Structure 1
């Protein structure tokens, strides 16, 4: 199966509004990062797209992650980024993030400045990289629901082959 077909399958698990936001944000980042590697991870918690100058996860500079109710932009070296507008969230030793809710936050001057700062340190490496290449790196067998509770996903007991448990009984 092609990477595009796999990604379409990953996206199909999400609510249409989240898919739309993720696609717009991903398109914006692919315009900003025309060279390098887009690494895709369909993990336990989220669907993530990381952008770096090499195919190594440790070289990812920025990433997008889709959750059931929002999309988040991550800066993998965000703790060391100057953030004059105080947009970055998080308190870890490395990573910071900006929740793209509403999606227009991505186009704000503050976030665009952060993206420019984050990518500037790797400009030479990105410049030497091939045209943006997408690679599906991992797919977790076990995943959290990709839509908010009650968003149309059938309960386990209603799926064919599942027997109701005592908890499902009145």
Structure 2
């Protein structure tokens, strides 16, 4: 089952819907207990260890015009041996996806690291 609000945000995502669904599947496989919150104004869904996006959020999926961002709230501090994270902000990083990769091990590792980082930072 997709997060509440999914269809309202991503219902007209066209060919990118498969990317969004694969991202949601990966996040839920890594963190089945993840709290998911839809943000229609940002065309995104945030996943974390609790409902507070800014402190408890680990990752997000955001629909852009021609791609999907798989984003990481504390991405600047995550290990990224494959060098796939993009961004220059103090904390946020993302991966731009136009299709889901056949081998998603690097994405899985990042999602696992993001949830581990939030659990450790919040003592959970």
Q: Contact 1:49–1:64 at 8 Å: present in 2 too? A: yes
TM-aligned CA deviation for residue 37 of structure 1: 0.8
TM-aligned CA deviation for residue 95 of structure 1: 0.3
Write the distance in 2 (CA, Å) between the matches of 1:22 and 1:84.
24
Where structure 1 has 5 or more consecutive residues not aligned to the other structure, the ranges are 129-170
Quote the residue 1:132 is aligned against: none
Q: Contact 1:10–1:47 at 8 Å: present in 2 too? A: yes
Quote the residue 2:111 is aligned against: 115
Of the two, which has the highest radius of gyration? 1
- Higher relative CO (Cα under 8 Å, sequence separation at least 6) belongs to 1
Write the distance in 1 (CA, Å) between the matches of 2:3 and 2:78.
33
- For the aligned residue pairs, the C-alpha RMSD in angstroms reads 2.5
Write the distance in 2 (CA, Å) between the matches of 1:69 and 1:54.
30
How many residue pairs get aligned? The number is 121
Q: Contact 2:9–2:44 at 8 Å: present in 1 too? A: no
Where structure 2 has 5 or more consecutive residues not aligned to the other structure, the ranges are none
- Alignment CA distance shift 1:69-1:120 (3 Å): same
Q: Contact 1:89–1:96 at 8 Å: present in 2 too? A: yes
With normalisation by structure 1, the TM-score equals 0.61
Task: Tell me, yes or no, if structure 1 residue 13 matches structure 2 residue 9.
Answer: no
- Alignment CA distance shift 1:114-1:24 (3 Å): closer
With normalisation by structure 2, the TM-score equals 0.81
